[in-house]
């Protein structure tokens, strides 16, 4: 995103939040916002800005905008419960001895958590409720970690790997 596009975003915010730009700090705000948001496409930032305006009566921070971008990028991604459903389906379809095929049938992030827990362990377990809880917790933790890494690196437009 270019500086002139940040100025357009600021114009939108100024109309919706009259005290958004503090007098005397316009240039500094422009520099900081551009620095933090330059890696994202303008249309995505504009969408995040519009989402914020619709959902909050308070002026946004850079963090708010990036959070909206992350939320938008995660639409349609698997949640922990859906991922667990794939694991159960793979256990039923492939069983204990066909681990490689089972893991290939799952998205990489699901297979990664299954590997960490142990395919054979999951197949032989008699406590599906506890396994489901552990899987979902591990899956959600991995997803949060990926989001945090993306936030810290900027990841050239949030390549969250999913």
d(CA 12, CA 6): 10
Supply the pLDDT for residue 151: 67
Same domain, 43 and 96: no
pLDDT tens digit string along 144-159? 887 777 666 654 544 4
SS3 content of the chain, % helix, strand, coil (to 5): 75, 0, 25
Domain boundary residue, one of 12, 46, 73 = 73
Structure tokens at 121: 């362990």
Residues comprising the chain, all counted:
162
Domain boundary residue, one of 48, 73, 98 = 73
34, 1 Cβ separation under 8 angstroms: yes
d(CA 119, CA 113): 10
Supply the pLDDT for residue 92: 92
Name the strand (E) or helix (H) holding 148.
Answer: helix 128-153
Same domain, 18 and 59: yes
pLDDT tens digit string along 53-70? 999 999 999 989 988 888
Any residues with CB less than 8 A from the CB of 34 and at least 6 apart, and which? 1, 2, 3, 6
Residue 162 pLDDT class (50, 70, 90 cuts): very low
Q: Domain of 64?
A: 3-73
pLDDT tens digit string along 5-38? 999 999 999 999 988 888 888 899 999 999 988 8
Domain boundary residue, one of 55, 73, 91 = 73
Same domain, 64 and 128: no
Supply the pLDDT for residue 158: 45
pTM higher than the cut 0.75: no
């Amino acid at each position: 995103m270019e500086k002139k596009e940040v100025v357009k975003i600021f114009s939108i915010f100024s109309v919706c939040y009259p005290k958004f730009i503090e007098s005397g700090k316009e240039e500094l705000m422009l520099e900081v916002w551009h620095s933090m948001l330059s890696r994202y496409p303008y249309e995505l930032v504009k969408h995040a800005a519009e989402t914020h305006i619709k959902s909050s009566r308070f002026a946004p921070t850079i963090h708010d905008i990036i959070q909206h971008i992350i939320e938008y990028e995660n639409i349609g991604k698997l949640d922990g419960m859906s991922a667990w459903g794939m694991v159960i389906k793979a256990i039923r379809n492939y069983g204990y001895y066909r681990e490689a095929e089972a893991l290939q049938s799952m998205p990489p992030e699901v297979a990664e958590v299954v590997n960490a827990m142990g395919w054979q362990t999951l197949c032989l377990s008699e406590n599906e409720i506890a396994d489901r809880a552990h899987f979902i917790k591990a899956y959600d933790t991995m997803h949060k970690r990926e989001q945090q890494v993306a936030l810290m690196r900027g990841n050239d437009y949030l390549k969250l790997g999913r």
